[in-house]
Structure 1
Amino acid sequence: MSVTSDPLNGVLLEGRYRVEARIATGGMSTVYRGLDVRLDRPVALKVMDARYANDSQFLTRFQREARAVARLKDPGLVAVYDQGLDGSHPFLVMELIEGGTLRELLRERGPMPPHAAAAVLRPVLGGLATAHRAGLVHRDVKPENVLISDDGEVKLVDFGLVRAVAEAGITSTSVILGTAAYLSPEQVSTGAADARSDVYAVGILAYELLTGATPFTGDNPLTVAYQRMDHDVPPPSAAISGVPPQFDEFIGRATARNPDARFADAEEMAGDLDAIAMELGLPKFRVPAPRNSAQHAAATAVHSRPTVEHRAAVPAPAPGPIPAPAPVKNPTRQLIRDPQDWQPADEDDETHEMASQFAGIDIGEFIWERQRARRSLMFWMLIVLLLTGGMAAAGWTLGSNLQGLL
């Protein structure tokens, strides 16, 4: 479908925000690349489905959501600039992230080694921690809602399901919101959610980053959702080799079926992740944006679109053979072996050395080798210090004895 087929393309919402190209479509909204003509600033426009325009209860919740999210400031969150209603189109104006989604990145490159997974999880948890401190719950953490910019920024988007914790349960409590693969057991059973529900979703996300798949599968979303009621999330090391045991424990605690056994919120979970990264000596890593994303396609469509005066004169391309689909990386039962998959953007980064060693060995083996090398170095440094101290003491004793003889 061409970008010009969307009836909203070119529309100026509230006389200020021009719709330029569609990026993605969801259950309740469509996200467009747009332009704030007053500030001449590219923006992302989240336009809600027209059927919600006459639902006063929905519009009230939508406006409350926009105000609450606009107050959140964190590098791990997509900023909200404005909200409005243009005819039958309620819309949200957000920061435009030039890049793509985590889902697109996983499809391109497959499962991540621990240092890359940690680099994704840190900003996601940071953004959630800011929201949790403000009493807000995301309720829909998943790879589609994690954006990666061309500059390596990782940001959480779409707080369309956010509710103030104090107001949770006032409306639509019987409706299970979110994506089935990432829902917590309490969301499935009662529809209720708090900060620990987001923690559960991040635990599922972490499992998927490391293994390339979510832990529960089924014939339909309902089957997938209900599996977590009776089954624990298995350790990722059972699905893919080389995952450090610290990550097994980290994900096990985050996805405990009993909310009280999980991390209390994203801030506590982030602290545990930082401790694991320090213990394993995981280097810093700049997460790459997906090469072929809907965002890039929308930007290309806008920049290459002819002007209105000349648009009709452009001939339609001749039909050609349908290209064969690109091969899809099938998550295997081993960690990434191709060093090009997760090579850092900065050639001077310590991660370049780490990534180059993925060819032929597991990341777990590499981490343990690094730890053994560090312990060995510390051991020999201690021996040298002891010998140096012993020699100094012997010299002092010898000097004292000679002085006594003299």
Structure 2
Amino acid sequence: MISGGSVSAGSLLDRRYRIDAPIARGGMSTVYRALDTRLDRPVAVKIMDPKFAADPQFVARFEFEARAVARLNNPGLVAVYDHGRDGEYAFLVMELVEGGTLRELLRERGPMPPHAAAAVIRPVLDALGTAHRAGLVHRDVKPENILISDYGDVKIADFGLVRAVAASNATSSSVILGTAAYLSPEQVTTGSANAGSDVYGVGVVLFELLTGRTPFSGDTSLSIAYQRIDNDVARPSSLISGVPREFDELVSRATNRDPASRFQNADEMARALRAVCARLELPAYRVPAPRRSAEHRSAAVLGAPTTFAGDRNAEPPAPPTQAVAAPVSSDAGLHHTRVQTAPTARDSAPAPDVVPPHTVGRRHYEFPDFDADRQRSRRAIVIWLTVVAVLAALVGVGGWWMGSGRYPTVPEVGGLDLLGAESALEAADLDSATRGTYSDTAPLDSLVGTDPTTGSRVPRGDTVYLLVSLGPPSVPDIAPGISVGDMQELLRERTFDPVDGGEAFSTTAPIGGVAALDPPPGTELSVGDTVKILRSKGAPPVDVPDIAGMSADEATAALASVGISVEGTDVAFDEDTDGGKVTGTSPEIGTSVTAGSSIRLQVSNAIS
């Protein structure tokens, strides 16, 4: 039991977990480095604010989510060891990731190249995929909740915390829970979240990894949150040149405002990311942990050894990889998490001097022949310098290949004709093909630009499309039997914005099909104009006209003029009607029928 009712270094939680040092504080909880005295292992303990622990709804949801996550098995998920209450405190015990958060890495290093961003996102998607298959949703995917160990392991933490807080009476029903910059549109408008909401968050994180910033900004968290309702996430290449278009497409699909148009879950996005990495032949990459993380500083307070990924003499960790719970969200759940790190102890021992690798384990000897020893030393220096020069050359060649060598820049083609543009692309070691594009201003068949755009970096030998003007777009014809969905796609291909125009009668289109377009086919419009699609509600009703006394041919023509056909003739004697003349119809004259239907004629065989 915590004595005195407060948590501090040395406190014993639940008579088992000794609190050592704080790692991060937020509005809902504080994360501590602690020691499990029963198993003698370091752990991370998240202690919730007492206002939540006093709420039975929160405690019930908190415990349910903890048990659900504990059942999951994926190396990308921070393991949950235990949960419980000690007095006024509800707590969660997790594995301790010795490293830091993706947020801290972004602060240290800024934007990442595509291969590094992919190395971060892949394990996150794999972990989320495990959760999604189990019916769990994270609801708060963000860099603060993505942890990187000193050995390059990437993990995601804080599953279910937002849902538990949402169940609490301690939060207002008007509060949007989550972190504003990473919320999906449906979380903002309805508060609901599903696997697609997590995918949206991953898409925003991928955007931030590639560009170094989030897609929306504003003076308040609410203004940031509501921007995504009416605005799409920009393509990363519009902010950072050289981002491959495949990554633009990944981000665009993951952050589509329409949930039905996104990747439906993390597994689907993971497959798409793997395909992109294979197509671009991206190299393998081990994600480095941040050097100046809150977790490292908390370890320094205790004098615990901190091992970095670059240390050659570091011993591998004992399995499973241990790690630290991510910083927590703020009260409203809208602001970015503020991480407060523990100060470094002033009287802690200074760091030992670093011993150069080539001197480790070397003993000192007195050589009888100093000149011979000096010659050997000189030869060794020459050999080392040669090795260093060769390595530097290899690094330079590798850097060139991974940079401009492997990813040449799409050249400027403005002012060139098609032949000149093809030559410019060939000189850049890129293939070319033509693609038509509609334009309100560019003359027909003139060169408009390229896809990818000028300045983009693409794999050597990749195809760059030369965009040739098709002139202003015109409304397409209506193909017989075309569906509304296919018509929408056809209109979008011509740059139009298809909208519902209601229903209309049609003698040619089936019910629910395309009856008409407004403006009609053949009308020339501007790029992006709206075209209404009128859905067919079937043929209009018509009355069978009075054709009595007409010949069979005359009656057939009269019926055809109103959309009725003749399916056959019945001959019968009628003393009042001359032979060969129509005496009636079936259905009867004056009956309302559907245009396009058929009737039978009744014709007299009396002798004239």
Higher percent of residues as strand: 2
Root mean square deviation, CA, Å:
2.9
Question: 2:259: which partner in 1?
Answer: 259
1:161 match: 161
Cα 1:374/1:187, change in 2 over 3 Å: closer
Structure 1 SS opposite 2:67: helix
Q: Tell me which amino acid in the other structure corresponds to 2:231.
A: H
Work out which of the residue numbers 400, 419, 426 in structure 2 matches 1:357.
400
* Aligned equivalent of 1:122: 122
CA distance in 1, matches of 2:460, 2:85: 61
Deviates more, 1:353-362 or 1:173-182: 353-362
Contact 1:137 1:162 in 2 (8 A): no
Do the aligned partners of 2:21 and 2:33 also contact (CA within 8 Å) in 1? Answer: yes
1:81 match: secondary structure: strand
What's the counterpart of residue 89 of structure 1? 89
- Please state if 1:372 is matched with 2:460: yes
Task: Write out per-residue CA displacement over residues 340-391 of structure 1, whole angstroms, 9 at most, x where no aligned residue.
Answer: xxxxxxxx9xx9778733997498438979943699xxxxxxxxxxxxxxxx
Aligned to 1:204: 204
Structure 1 pair 227/374, CA: closer, same or farther in 2 (3 Å)? closer
Larger Rg: 2
Q: Closer, same or farther in 2 for the Cα pair 1:89/1:366, shift >3 Å?
A: farther
Instruction: Map residues 384-403 of structure 1 onto 2, 5 A cutoff.
Output: none
Q: CA contact under 8 A between 2:211 and 2:240: conserved in structure 1? A: yes
Whole-angstrom CA distance in 2 between matches of 1:169 and 1:365: 52
Confirm or deny: 8 A CA contact 2:145 2:156 kept in the other structure. yes
Higher helix share: 1
Classify 1:242/1:17 alpha carbon distance in 2 versus 1 (closer, same or farther; 3 Å).
Answer: same
Task: Report whether the alignment pairs 1:278 with 2:278.
Answer: yes
Are the equivalent residues in 2 in contact too, given 1:244–1:364 (CA < 8 A)?
A: no
User: How many Å separate the matches in 1 of 2:84 and 2:112?
Assistant: 39
Deviation at 1:207, TM superposition (A): 0.2
1:101 partnered with 2:106 = no
The one-letter amino acid of 2:147's match is L
Alignment of 1:140-179 (within 5 A): 140-161=140-161, 163=163, 175-179=175-179
Q: Could you tell me which residue of structure 2 aligns to residue 38 of structure 1? A: 38
1:128 to 1:287, Cα distance in 2 relative to 1, 3 A: same
State TM-score, norm by structure 2: 0.50
Q: Which structure ranks higher in relative contact order (CA pairs < 8 Å, sequence separation ≥ 6)?
A: 1
The equivalent of 2:301 in structure 1 is 301
1:382 alignment partner in structure 2: none
Q: Which residue of 1 aligns with 2:440?
A: none
Matched to 2:11, the amino acid is V
The within-5 A match list for 1:329-344 is: none
Partner of 1:18: 18
1:244 to 2:244 alignment:
yes
Query: In terms of mean alpha carbon deviation, does 43-52 or 364-373 score higher?
Result: 364-373
How far off is 1:239 after superposition?
0.6
Q: State the one-letter code of the partner of 2:178.
A: G
Question: Following the alignment from structure 2 to structure 1, what is the Cα–Cα distance between the partners of residues 228 and 247?
Answer: 20
For residues 46-84 of structure 1, the C-alpha deviation after alignment (integer angstroms, 9 at most, x for no partner) is 000112221111111111111011011101110000001
SS at match of 2:247: helix
Unaligned runs of 5+ in 1: 1-5, 306-314, 318-347, 376-406
Please state how far the C-alpha of 1:296 moved relative to its aligned partner.
0.2
Provide the rounded CA distance (Å) in 2 between the counterparts of 1:148 and 1:183.
22
1:185-204 matched pairs, under 5 angstroms = 185-204=185-204
Q: Distance in 2 between matches of 1:151 and 1:204?
A: 25
Identity score, percent: 61
CA–CA distance in structure 2, aligned partners of residues 354 and 19 of structure 1: 51
Q: Distance in 1 between matches of 2:12 and 2:409?
A: 55
Output the TM-score relative to the length of structure 1: 0.74
Q: Which residue in the other structure is 2:69 paired with?
A: 69
Superposed counterparts of 1:45-60, under 5 Å? 45-60=45-60
The question of whether the paired residues in 2 share the 8 Å contact of 1:243 and 1:363 is answered with no
Q: Secondary structure at the match of 2:268?
A: helix
Which structure 2 segments of 5+ residues have no match? 1-5, 306-344, 348-390, 411-429, 431-456, 464-608
> How far is 1:252 from its partner?
0.3
Q: Read off the aligned partner of 1:113 and give its amino acid letter.
A: P
The answer (yes or no) to whether the contact 1:236–1:243 under 8 Å persists in 2 is yes
Alignment check: 8 A CA contact 2:200 2:256 kept: yes
Instruction: Provide the rounded CA distance (Å) in 1 between the counterparts of 2:36 and 2:214.
Output: 38
Counterpart of 2:93 in 1: which secondary structure?
Answer: strand
Contact 1:196 1:263 in 2 (8 A): yes
